[in-house]
Each structure stands twice: as C-alpha cells, then as structure tokens.
Structure 1
Amino acid sequence: MKYSKTIAGITIEICEKAIGEDLVLTLSGGEKPHIGCVVQAVPRPSLSGDGTISVTSSVINLTGHKDEFLCRRLAENRCRETGKVVVCTGGVHMDHITGEQIEELLKNIDRMMTE
C-alpha cells in the first residue's frame, strides 16, 4: 500500500509492505528523501494488565538526523493497531523547515495511515 499527502507544504509518502506476519513502512518526503532512522516496534501486553497492547521500540539514528520523531510515531501506532512487529525507516528533509511545519507533520502523520 502507498499513502501520499502534502502536509505543511511538504509531500510525504508512506509505503507499507507485509513481510510474512510483520510490516515494513518506508517514509520519504521533502527536498532530499533519505534514510535517517530505523525504528523496530514490537507489540507486548500492557504492564497495566488491562488487556491493551503496548509497544517496545528500538531505534537507530544517523548522527544529526531528527527522523525518529516521525518514524517512531508511525511504527508504534501501526504496531498498536495491528499487533504486529513493525519496522519503519526513512527520512524527510526540507531546507529551512520551521518549528510550525514540524509540529504540523507530527499532528497529521497519524491521519495518513487511518484515512
């Protein structure tokens, strides 16, 4: 599956592929898409004991990259939704991105997967 949307003037693309029972998400966008981060999200029973699914994540960042904010959110949310192991990798780059654009991306990235 492929999802594409323009958020805060930045075109974002998310691709999802099943690998056996697991999922791989790739995130790209902006002027220089790249791999700046890899997040692996693993589902587990919540420690609260209420039957909900929680997530334990492992993250690998390239030095100086901030892509974890988006990749982690995508991987963890998709992991909770599906109960599957999810890996998300990729990166979004915009020269001179503003704090407002980053906040808008974070607020709207979840909607891309649910719409």
Structure 2
Amino acid sequence: MDDGIVKGKGRTQVRLEALDTGNGICLCLTGGEAPHVGGMVLAAPRPSLTGQGTGCDVWTATVPGHKDVYLAQKAAEKLCKALEVNVSATVGIHIDGAREQELKTIEENAMEALDEYIAAVKSRREADGGSHHTG
C-alpha cells in the first residue's frame, strides 16, 4: 500500500511516502526547497541487546556533503523498532541558509509524519487480526 503524509508548510514542509511491501517498508522523506536523495539507511529488526523489546541493526550510505542520513537513520530505526520490519529509508530535504530552528522544525515534522504512519500501519494490522504483515 502506498501512503503519503505531509506535515508543516513552506520551507520546513516534509512529505513522507511509504511503500509497504508486506514484508518490509520502503520509506521516502523529502521536503524543503529542493527535495533530493541525500542519505539512505537500511534497518533490520533484532532482539534488543538489553533483552527488552526490539532493537535494530543499521547500515547507512550518504551522498558526499549531505547530512540527510542522520534523519534517515532516526526515521528507519523508529519504524523498524515500532513495526518490527525491515526498513529502507531515503531522505532528501534541503533549504538554503537553514537556521537551527528550521532544522528542528523539519525534524519535528518528520517525526510527526512517522508517528501518523506508524499508527495507520498498526491500525491496519489490528483490522487484519494482528498480523505482522504490513500490507
């Protein structure tokens, strides 16, 4: 299933698009003035090293000179742990002359979109009888 969620407005607007394969999620977060591909992360669930809950192993790749991979990692880990599925996350959000508060707002918008997406997937799972399949 394809999902699109938009949070924020103007320079700090973020768009979340996700392809739920039924056996993992392909996430794309873009926004700002110049959406692009800046960083990619793959997260795979595993038992937490503390013995409580789910952790995840993470691999990253970044386009040289881009910092999008930091938000990609945060997003991929959040989805991976919450939904216990493999997640690939691609992020590309750019605004010229970004101020610290704008960067914070972008991250807040992205996390709000992720929370909405996670709630929707969990709701679908419940409707499907609690299946871990997310499709």
Same fold by TM-score greater than 0.5: yes
Structure 2: gaps spanning 5 or more residues: 117-135
Larger Rg: 2
Structure 2 length-normalised TM: 0.78
Q: If each structure's helix is expressed as a fraction of its own residues, which one has the higher value? A: 2
Give the aligned residue type for 1:41: A
After superposition, give the CA deviation of every residue in 1:43-94 in whole Å (9 maximum; x if it has no partner): 11011112x0001110000110010121111111011111000000130010
- Where 1:91 maps in the other structure, the secondary structure is strand
Q: If each structure's strand is expressed as a fraction of its own residues, which one has the higher value? A: 1
The within-5 A match list for 1:85-100 is: 85-100=86-101
Aligned residues: CA RMSD: 1.5
- Where 2:98 maps in the other structure, the secondary structure is coil
- Which segments of structure 1 move beyond 3 Å, counting only runs of 4 or more? none
After superposition, give the CA deviation of every residue in 1:11-32 in whole Å (9 maximum; x if it has no partner): 1101011124010001111111
Match of 1:106 in 2: 107
Match of 2:26 in 1: 24
Structure 1 length-normalised TM: 0.91
Decide whether the 8 Å contact of 2:43 with 2:56 is kept in 1: yes
Decide whether the 8 Å contact of 2:39 with 2:72 is kept in 1: yes
Structure 1: gaps spanning 5 or more residues: none
Match of 1:58 in 2: 59
Q: Distance in 1 between matches of 2:57 and 2:111?
A: 18
